[in-house]
Every structure is written in C-alpha cells, then in structure tokens.
Copies of this chain bind each other. A is one copy, B any other.
Amino acid sequence: MREMTYKEAINLAMREEMRRDPDVFLMGEDVGIYGGAFGVSVGLIEEFGEERVRDTPISEAIITGAAAGAAVTGMRPIVEIMFMDFTTLAMDALVNQAAKMRYMFGGKAKVPMTLRCAGGSGTGAAAQHSQSLEAWFCHIPGLKVVVPGTPKDAKGLLKAAIRDDNPVVFVEQKTLYKEKGMVPEEDDFIIPLGVGEIKKEGKDVTVVSYGRMLPRVLKVAEELEREGISVEVVDPRTLVPLDKEIIINSVIKTGRAVLVNEACKTGGYLGEIASVIVESEAFDYLDAPIVRLAGLDVPIPYNPELEKAVVPSEEQIRAGILKVLNR
C-alpha cells in the first residue's frame, strides 16, 4: 500500500498492465510526451516508447474505431478520449461497432478494449468540456461502464477493465485526479467489474453514489454519524454490470434510499438504480419515497458559482438524507 493520487493510480494501472502484457498499448491525443491533457499518462512514453504510447491526430471517431479493430485482431488497446464530451464523436465506433461485434457475429469475436475519458464539471471548462454522460453507455448492451471514486478503485478497476475481453468505458473524474488515497501496489490487485462496495456502513438510510459525488457523500455521512444518524454509503463502482444485490440488500436493511450523482437528473442512471430498487423485494421495505439528487437539467455554465450550483452540494445531500428520514 502506498499513498497516491487517483491520477497516479490510473497511471500505475496502465504501467503495470503494459509491462505484463505486450498486447496492451495506449493511444490518444497528446498521451505521449505531453502525458495527456490531465497528465494521466505522464512517463509512459519514456518507458514504453512511441509504438505503444501513440499520439494520434485529433480524430476521435477513427481512434475509437481503430481500437475496436485492433482489439478484434488480438491487441488490447486503451484509448484515451480527452474529455467525455468528445465521445460524441466516437459513438458509432463504440456503440455500433465495438459493443455489437461479438453479438452480431454470433459470439465469434471479442473486443478487449478500454476507452478512458475524463468526465464531470467543476473545472471551469463550461458546457462542452464538463458533461457526465455515463448513462448513455449504460444503455448499450455489450459495453461495460466503470466510474471509480477513489484511487484504490481506480487502480483495481482499470486493471480489470484492461484484462476484460469486452469494451469497457472507464470514466475518470476530473475533480478527483488529485485526490489521494492508499493504493495496493501488488501487480495482481484487481477489483472485479460488477462488484460494488459499502464505503461506509450504517443502518438508518442508504445512500448510493459513485464517482465525484462519493467524497461529498462520505463527508456528509460522517457528519450525520456524529449527529446520531447512521448512513450507509454504497458505491456500485461499475454501473454495468451493476451490483444490484449490494444495493438491494442495503435498502432492505435501512428502508430508505437516497441516490446521488453529478449527471443531469432527467434520463440519468439514477433512474435505473431507483427502478432496480422498486422492482426488487426492497420495495416492500421502503419507508419513504426514494430521493434522487442529481445535476440540474442544464448545460454546464462557466461562472464558478453557477457551475457549483449545478451539482448536488453537501448541504443538498444532507437535506436529501434528512428528507428521506422525515427529519
């Protein structure tokens, strides 16, 4: 175990996997000597050279399509799309090609590629550089979707994603890049996709959250703990496949659920999680309506105060939890 940032953890995961398996390589815009727009791949080109750390032209569609083509012929590409917003340029490659090849071809292909991208607001980058679009990918069978909320999860999940034989969309959180945490250094530390984690145990209310909102939720949960309210915080970590059991069991235990993410509320993945709960046996245990706390249904504005107002604040999370507790 060593303390490192979320960014370093991702860097280390790539480094280890590239050392382990010569078929793993990285491509993307400015991933080479620049180290990626957020510095995530710093040092990789020095260790692995230009053949395996490939600066590309600004061509998101073809980079992603080429990853699919390389994957289906035996490589294990990692593609970096600089901002999640620019996956809009790569949707055919990802959704119509990579995600569907295996099924369309009757199971006779596998597409082991990982698409990394940086999601979320909070950096003053405005409407075209700040979206949280994970719900889109979750809606596409054939894709797996991961949103790590801690450095440890980032490392373990990215390694699992790279080793997975399916296309995985790995959504990094810009505002977490510099967050620190203890991270196992063993090469074989893997967090399997589809396994959530109880980030804090509790008994009065379940809060399901992931990614950037997680530290916020945990902070509020600890404050409330001191006030005598016991909050259980569940982090699914992977959105597809979703660890439904861990969520359902927690809600059965607490009888109350608050769901928190940063993405726009309407059509977001919290709707799915809420539905999974109400469709399950947990429905009968629900003592209060489920509360979804999500981003406002607006593009991300530039002004810092407006930008902050778009995503759930600690106060709003606190209020949401108290509301579901009827306090």
Contacts and interface: CB of A to CB of B under 8 A. Distances in A.
Interface of A: 61, 85-86, 88-89, 91-92, 95-96, 99-100, 103-104, 126-128, 133, 135-136, 138-142, 240, 242, 263-264, 266-272, 274-275, 278-280, 283-284, 289-292, 296-299, 301
Contact of A278 (B88, B280, B290, B297): B290
A141 B265 CA distance: 10
A244 to B, nearest CB: 11
A269 B104 CA distance: 25
A262 to B, nearest CB: 13
A7 to B, nearest CB: 25
Given A91-B88, A92-B89, A278-B290, A127 B103 contact: yes
Contact of A103 (B133, B138, B299): B299
Which of A61, A133, A136, A263 has the most C-beta atoms of chain B within 10 angstroms of its own C-beta? A136
A297 B137 CA distance: 12
Contacts of A284: 289
The copy count of this chain in the complex is 2
A294 B95 CA distance: 19
Given A92-B89, A275-B292, A278-B290, A139 B263 contact: yes
A266 B236 CA distance: 15
A275 B270 contact: yes
A24 to B, nearest CB: 26
Which of A133, A268, A272 has the most C-beta atoms of chain B within 10 angstroms of its own C-beta? A272
A88 B99 contact: no
Nearest to A94: B88
B103 A96 contact: no
Nearest to A138: B267
Given A104-B127, A274-B278, A267 B269 contact: yes
A83 to B, nearest CB: 10
A291 B88 CA distance: 32
A268 B89 contact: no
A52 B95 CA distance: 33
Nearest to A145: B267
A289 B298 contact: no
A14 to B, nearest CB: 27
Contacts of A92: 86, 88-89
A326 to B, nearest CB: 13
9 contacts: A86-B92, A100-B127, A100-B299, A103-B299, A135-B139, A139-B268, A141-B266, A141-B297, A275-B290
